[in-house]
Amino acid sequence: MLFHFLQADSGTAVSYLPIALQIIFAIGLVATIIIGSDFLGPKRKTADKLQNFESGIEIRGNARQPMAIKYFLVAILFVLFDVEVIFFYPYAVNFRELGWEGFLAVVMFVSLFLSGFIYIFKKGALKWEE
C-alpha cells in the first residue's frame, strides 16, 4: 500500500513526497551527526589549541595591517573583464545562427564594456604612483 502511494502520477504533488522524505532524512542525519560529534567528541581546550594556526610559521605582529585598495580594485576589474570574455563563447559557437542581430548585440555589449574601461582609465584607477 505504501509503495503504491509513493508511485503517484508525475503531475501531482504527491509525486514529490519521496524527494521531501529524502530531504527531511538528509537534514536529520546532518543535524544528528553535528550534535552527536559535539556531545561525543573530546573537549580539551589548551592554549596551543586555541592559538591561531599559521601553517607552521611563527606569528609576528598584527595581521590587520592596512593594505592599498589598488590591489582589490585591480582584482575586481580583472574579474569583470574576465567574465566579459566568458560571454563571447556562446556568440562564437552560434554566430551563424544569431546573424546580424546577434552581431549588433555583441557590438553593443563590447561598446558598453569599452566605455566602462575608458571611464576607469580616465579616473586613474589603473595608475600605480602611490
Count of domains forming the chain: 2
- The pLDDT, as a whole number, for residue 54 is 67
Task: Check: CB of residue 29 under 8 Å from CB of residue 36.
Answer: no
- The pLDDT, as a whole number, for residue 75 is 81
Is the domain of 80 the same as that of 110?
yes
Where in the sequence is the domain holding 101, given as residue range(s)? 69-123
Binned at pLDDT 50, 70 and 90, residue 95 comes out as confident
The sign of the CA dihedral 64, 62, 53, 79 is positive
Is the domain of 86 the same as that of 118?
yes
Using the 8-state DSSP alphabet, how is residue 14 labeled?
G
pTM above 0.85, yes or no: no
Q: Rounded to an integer, what distance in angstroms lies between the CA atom of residue 67 and that of residue 107?
A: 38
Q: What is the pLDDT of residues 57-70, one digit of tens each?
A: 777 777 677 777 77
Task: Check: CB of residue 117 under 8 Å from CB of residue 81.
Answer: yes
Is 58 within a domain? no
Is the domain of 80 the same as that of 46?
no
Q: What is the pLDDT of residues 26-66, one digit of tens each?
A: 999 999 999 999 899 888 888 777 777 667 677 777 767 77
